[in-house]
Amino acid sequence: MAEPLILVPLDGPLDARAALPVAKALGAAVGAGLRVVHVSSGTPPPLSELVGRLGLERAGLLGWSIDARVGDPSAAIVDAARMLGVRMIVMCTHTAAARPAAVLGRTALEVLRAAPCPVVLVPPVQRPESWRPDRILLAHDGSPAADAVVGPAAEYARKAGAKLLVVRVGTAGAGAPAERGSLSLPLYVDQPQHEWPHWSGELLERLASRCPDRRLQAHLCVRAGEPGPEITRAAREWADLIVLAWKGQWDGDRAKTLKTILREASCPVMVVRA
Amino acid sequence: MADNLAPSIEGAPVLDLAEFDGAAFDLDGVITRTATVHAAAWKRLFDAFLARRAARMREEFRPFDAEGDYLRHVDGKPRLDGVRDFLRSRAIVLPDGEPDDPPERETVCSLGNGKDALFRQLLARKGVEVFDGSVAFIRRLRGAGLKTAVVSASKNTVPILKAAGLADLFDACVDGVEAERLGLEGKPSPDTFLHAAKVLGVPPKRILGVEDSLAGVEAIRAAGFGLAVGVDRTGHGAALAAHGAGVVVPDLTALHLRAKEAGDPARDLRVREGAQACGPSADLPLWPSADPEWVLVEEGFTPTREHEVESLFTIGNGYIGSRAALAEGSSLSAPETFIAGVFDTRPGASPELATLPEWEHLSITVEGQPLRLDLGRFLEHRRILDLRQAIVWREWQHQDAAGRLTRIRGLRLASAADRHLLVGSVAFSPENFSGLMSLDASIGGLVSKRTATGAAVALAAATRFIGFDRTTAAEDRATPRPLRVDLGKVYRLDRVVAVHTSRDSGSPELVAREHADRAIESELAALIDGHRSAWMERWRASDVRIGGDPAAQRALRFAIYHLLSAANPEDERTSIGARGLTGSAYKGHVFWDTEIFMLPFFTLTYPEAARALLKYRYHTLPAARRRAAQFGHRGALYAWESADTGEDVTPSLVSLPGGETIRVLTGEQEQHISADVAYAVWSYWHATGDQEFLLGAGAEILLETARFWASRAERGEDGRCHIRGVIGPDEYHETVDDNAYTNGMAKWNLLTGERVARLVAERWPERWQALSAGIGLRPDEPAEWLTVARDMYTGLDEATGLMEQFRGYFELEDIDLGAFEPRNAPVDVLLGRERVQRSKIIKQPDVVMLLHLLWDDYPPAVREANFRYYEPRCAHGSSLSPAIHALVAARLGDPELATRYFRQAVDIDLADNMGNAAGGVHAAALGGLWQAVVFGFAGLRLTDHGPEHHPNLPPHWGGLSMRIMWRGRTHDLNLPPAGGAAGPQPGRRSDG
C-alpha cells in the first residue's frame, strides 16, 4: 500500500506559515507524510532555493518531500493529488494580501472544484506551530449527502485523540432538507424527555453507520440561526477545525453556508465532497 | 364473469391457470405506457392537418381530441386504418396514396408516415414507460409454464420492447411489420391473434388475451380465445366489457392466479408442500394487494430511511409488534420486536418495552457470497406494506459480484388469528445459475429471556423447506449447510415463531415450543388464510372509504392499519404506548394519547378493543389512588406516563440538545389526564351502552376521578374554584393557574361523576351500595362535586367569547409565527424556551382541544372566536396538533384550512425527508387523523338520540362512506361529495 500523503500546495512564505502547521498536525494525526508542491508559470526555481523560500527547514517537519511543477497551478495541484492518491489537500484560501470577493482565490476554488479528496482550506494568517486539531466541529444539515463528512472527521478525531462535536442549526425561513432519507430537526417534540434523546441517538447512529467500524464518539449540539454564521460562532467558541460537506455547486447563491464559513471562520475548514 | 374465473376471498377475480397454455398481450396500454405518446403524436399530426384544411376550406377548426377521438377511432388499430377511421368520423376522404408518400402530399399514407415520425421523435425524447404489474404478471405466467405472445398493431413493437428490456419476455411477436408482411388484417379482425396462436402452437381456446382497446377485445373474442381480459386504466371498463372482455381489471396485478397443480376449492391460496415440488408450487401462495390505495411501497434502498421504513412497515396484532427490519441486516437495520406489557429496566432509568431476540434474521449466501443490498447490486428491490392483508412483502432481484441473479420474494405477518404467532416465508429462485445456497437463521429452536422486571419471554421457531431435495434438507431447520439449487426453480423457507411470556402462562418455554411445532404442521397458505380472514373482518368494521383522493385514502388506511395493529381486545392489562409496538421511542409509555386520540376509533369500530384499553385504566386505578394521595388529594390521579403497573414513570430530567439539562414537570403537573380517562370511559359507555363495563369498572373510574378534582380545586377569595400549578395540553407553559382545558375537563368530570352516581344509584341500587361502600364515598360527595363544578373558574370573557388559556396568558408577548415559516426546527429551539414561555405561542390546541371534546357546551360564536384566536398562535410543536386543527376547522366550515392541516397530519409519518417516524409511528396522531375525517370532514356527532352527521367534506373528495357501531348495531354512513346533487343522507342502521 502506498505511503499516505497530504498534499500541501504552497506559493510563498506567507501561505506556508499558515498552511504548514495545519498540514503538519493533520499529517501527524493520521501518520501521513507531506508532499509540498509549488507550481510556477516559468522555469521552476531550484528545489534548495524553494525550500528556503518557503521556510520548510524551519517548519520542523518530518517525512516531507517537495515537488516543483510548471503550468496552471490548480490543474497541476489536482493532477498531483490524483497521481499521488493523497488523503487530502491542505492549502490557503488565498495567497493575495486581501481576501478576494469570491471568498476563495482562483487557485483554491479551482482545486476545491476538481479535487479527488477532501480539501482543508486555511485562512492565510500565521498559525502557531503548536496548532492541533483537538476539537473538531462537524457541521451537518441532516441530509444523507452531508454524511460524507463523517468518515474523514471521525477518523481524524479518533487518530488525533480529538473531541468531535456535531452541530445542527435550526433556521427560520428554511424548510427541511428535501433529500429523501434526511433527518430534519424534530418539528414535533411531543415530549422532550423522550423526543430529544431519541432524536439525538438516531442522528448519531446514522452518522456512526458511515464510520468504518460503525463507532462514533461525538457530542451533539443544536443551535438556532443562519447556518453559516452560527457554525462560525460555534467554531470560534470551541473548535480548531470545521468539517463540512459540499455538494459541488459554488456559483451564484449556491454554497451560501460554506462561503460564509470560509469568509468568517478563523480556523481551518475541511471540505468533503458530498 | 367468464367461466374460467372465480371470485377470490376478497372478491378479486381468480384466473385458473389449469385452463390455459398461452397468453397474448397487447403492447400499448397493457405492457407499456406508450398510449399517451401515440395520442400526442396523433394529435400533433391531425391538428396540423385539420388546421391547414380548415384555413383552406374556410371551415371552423375542430382539433383532434386526444382522449375521445383517440379511443374511438385510432387506439389499437393499424396506423393507416386509424387515419382512415378518424378522417371518416370528420367526413373527410383522402386517397390512400403510396407507402412512401412525403408529408406534403395529403394522403392516408403520408399522414400515417407523419404520425410514425412524430411518434419516434417523442419516444426518443420521453423513453418507454413500463407497467411493472403487467411485467410481473407475464413473468408469473411464464413461470407457470404458459407461452406468451405480444400482439400489437404497432410497427415499433420490437424497438419498444428492446428499449424497455422486455424482448425476452415473449415466445412470439405479431406486430405491425409482421402483419403487413403476411397481409393480416388489423384489430378488430382476429387475424393477428390467430396468427399468434399458431406461432405459439396453442389452440385459441387455451389462450387468454389481454387488451386495453375496444378493437383489441373484439379481436380476441373473434379469435375464439379462452378469455379476453380488459385492462381499464382510463375508465372505459364498461365499454370493454360490452365489446367482449370476460373480465375487466384496473391492472393485471388485480388478477389472482390459481396454480395449475392445486386441487382443492381454496387452491388459489394453497400450495402443497412436496419434496420435489419445484417450480411455481414452491412460490409464495399469495401476492400483495394491487390497489395503490391499500399499499405503501418503498422502492429501492435508502439506508438512512431504514429506521423509518422499519417503523412504518411494522406488523402487529396488539400482542406483539415487529419492526420491518431487513432479514439479512444492513448498516442501519434495527430489528426490534416488542410484546405489549413486557417491560425491561435499566438502572436509573424508567421502564421501557423489552426487545425480543431477532426472530426474523436470515442470511442467504450463494456460492459463499452473502446476499445483501450493500454487496453486489440489486436490480429490483421493493417493500410493500399491504394494509388490507396486514402483510409486509419484499420483492428483490439481486446480482452478485459474479453476475449471478437471484430473485427473492418474502412475506412476514403477525397473525391476527393467533396472536402468539409470527409467520415469515421467503421464496428464492436462481435465475441464471445453478449452485450452492445456504440459509442461516439466527434462531432455530427455543430462545428465552428474562427481563429486569422479572417477565420471562420465550420464542420457539420452527421451519420448513420447500422445493429442496428431501435428503439435503432433512434437518428441517434453517441451516448454514449449503443446499443445491437449480436454475429456474423456486425454493421456499417457511418459518413460524411462537411467542409466550410469563404473563400468559407458568411455563412459556414449553407452551411456545408446542405452539410452534403445532403451527408448522399447517400449510403456509392456511396460516395466511386465517390471518387474512381476521383482518378482512376488521376492515369490514373499520374501513373508511374516501372518493377522489387516493393519497388521503391511503393515509387514512395506514392510520387505521396501525391502530388495529396496536389493539388486543383479549388483554385488558395493557394499553397502547405513544408509538404503539412500532418502535422503542417513548419506551412504550402510555399517555393521554390513548384515551383522547385513539380510543374514539376503537369505541366506534372495535368496541371490544376499546373496552380492554379502558380496563387497563381500571386495573391501574389503585396506582392512581396512591398518586392522588401522594399529592395530598383524594380520588384518583392517573400517571402522566405509565407502563405495566400504572405508577408514574415520567423521566425526571432531560438533557436538551443545546446542552441544558432541565427538570421534567409534566409528571407532576399534567394532571388533566385523569379527566381525559374519565371522558373516554363516559364516551365508551355512551356509544356502547355496555352496562357490565359501567358497573364493573367505568363508574368507579368516573367517581374516583371526580373525587380527585373536588379535592384538587381550591376555593379562592373570589368565591370561584381554581386549579393551580398545572400544565395543560400546551406544554410550552408550565406551572400555570386555571388552565382552560384542565379546568374545563375537570368541571365536566365533576358533573359526569355526579351524573353517573345518580344513574347507578337509581337504576342499579344494589350495585351502588357496593360501589359507594367499596370506595368509601360519602353520600354528600356527589352534590359537593356539583357545587365545585358550578363554581369552577373557566376564563371565559363573555364580551369577547374568548377563553383565556390560563391566568395571565393575554398579557404575554404576541409573536407572529408566520414570520418564522417555513422553518426546520421547533419554535422553542429557534426562540429559546424562556422566550416562548413568555409569549402567547402555544405548542398544541388547548382551548381548541376543549372545544373539540365539549363541542356542544359552547355556543358557535365562542367556538369560532377561540379557534380564530388560538389557531394562528399555535406552533404545532406536537404531532397531536395538526389533526385536531383539521377537525375543528372542518367543523367550523373551513374545508380549505382543514385540508391543509389534514395534509400536515398525514406527513407526520409519511413524509420521506423528515425522519419523524424512525422511533415508531405516531399512534395518537394517526388516531387524530381518523378523528379529523370522521368528526371533522364527515361531521359525525354522537348525541343521546344516536349518531348524526353534518358533513364538511373537502370539495375534491368524491364522497365518504364508513360504518360505525352504536349500541350494538352498525350504522352505515354514505356521504355524497360536497355540493353533490344529493343532500346529506341519514346514516343507515342495520343489524350488525
Q: What do you get for the CA distance between the two ends of chain A, in Å?
A: 26
Stretch 139-158 of chain A: residues touching chain B, C-beta under 8 Å: 142, 144, 147
Of all residues in chain B, the one with the smallest CA distance to A166 is B657
Q: In DSSP terms, which residues pair with B973 in a beta bridge?
A: B962
Question: What ranges do the domains of chain A cover?
Answer: 5-122, 135-273
Dihedrals φ, ψ of B98, to 5°?
-105, 155
Stretch 285-344 of chain B: residues touching chain A, C-beta under 8 Å: 302-305, 307, 331-332, 334
Query: Average pLDDT of A56-78?
Result: 89
Cα distance between residue B546 and residue B975, in whole Å:
10
pLDDT 10s digits, A246-268: 999 999 999 999 999 999 999 99
Q: What pLDDT does residue B973 have? A: 94
Q: How near does any CA of chain B get to the CA of A90, in Å?
A: 31
Under 8 Å between Cβ of A67 and A76: no
Q: What pLDDT does residue B473 have? A: 42
Residues with Cβ within 8 Å of A138's Cβ and at least 6 positions away in sequence, in order, are A149, A150, A153, A164, A165, A166, A167, A207, A218, A243, A244
What cell does B291 get? Answer: 390497489
Residue A236, SS3 per DSSP: helix
Q: Does residue A42 belong to the interface with chain B, where contact is any CB pair within 8 Å?
A: no
Q: Give the class (CATH, top level) of A5-122.
A: alpha beta
Cα distance between residue B891 and residue B104, in whole Å:
63
Instruction: Look up the pTM and report it.
Output: 0.79
Question: What ranges do the domains of chain B cover?
Answer: 5-33+128-273, 35-126, 292-523, 543-582+876-992
Contacts of A147 in chain B (CB under 8 A): 304
Query: Would you call B914 and A176 a contact, using CB atoms and an 8 Å cutoff?
Result: yes
Tally of CB atoms within 10 A around B593: 29
Stretch 269-288 of chain B: residues touching chain A, C-beta under 8 Å: none
Q: What pLDDT does residue B10 have? A: 46
Contacts of A173 in chain B (CB under 8 A): 820-823
pLDDT 10s digits, A184-203: 999 999 999 999 999 999 99
Q: How near does any CA of chain B get to the CA of A182, in Å?
A: 5
Please name the CATH architecture into which domain A135-273 falls: 3-Layer(aba) Sandwich (3.40)
Pick from B353, B319, B317: nearest CA to B564: B317
- Say whether domain B292-523 belongs to CATH 2.70.98.40: yes
Q: Is the dihedral angle over the CA atoms B697, B702, B703, B707 positive or is it negative?
A: positive
pLDDT exceeds 70 at position A10: yes
Q: What pLDDT does residue B269 have? A: 26
What cell does B992 get? Answer: 350488525
What cell does A150 get? Answer: 463523517
DSSP B448-493: EEE-TTS-EEEEEEEEEEESS-TTTSTT-S--SS-EEE-TT--EEE
Under 8 Å between Cβ of B544 and B960: yes
pLDDT, greater one: B143 or A272? A272
Sheet holding B377-386, edge to edge: B295-299, B377-386, B391-399, B405-414, B421-430, B491-501, B456-466, B446-450
Q: Does residue B918 belong to the interface with chain A, where contact is any CB pair within 8 Å?
A: yes
The CATH number that domain B5-33+128-273 falls under is 3.40.50.1000
Segments of chain B with pLDDT less than 70: 1-12, 126, 259-281, 442-444, 469-481, 980-992
Q: What pLDDT does residue A3 have? A: 79
Cα distance between residue A137 and residue B165, in whole Å:
48
Nearest to B302 among A181, A192, A221 (CB): A181
Q: Does residue B919 belong to the interface with chain A, where contact is any CB pair within 8 Å?
A: yes
Angle between helices A150-160 and A13-30 (to 10 degrees): 80
Query: Would you call A144 and B822 a contact, using CB atoms and an 8 Å cutoff?
Result: no
Give the distance from CA A30 to its chain's centroid: 15
Nearest to B825 among A170, A195, A214 (CB): A170
Contacts of B919 in chain A (CB under 8 A): 198, 202
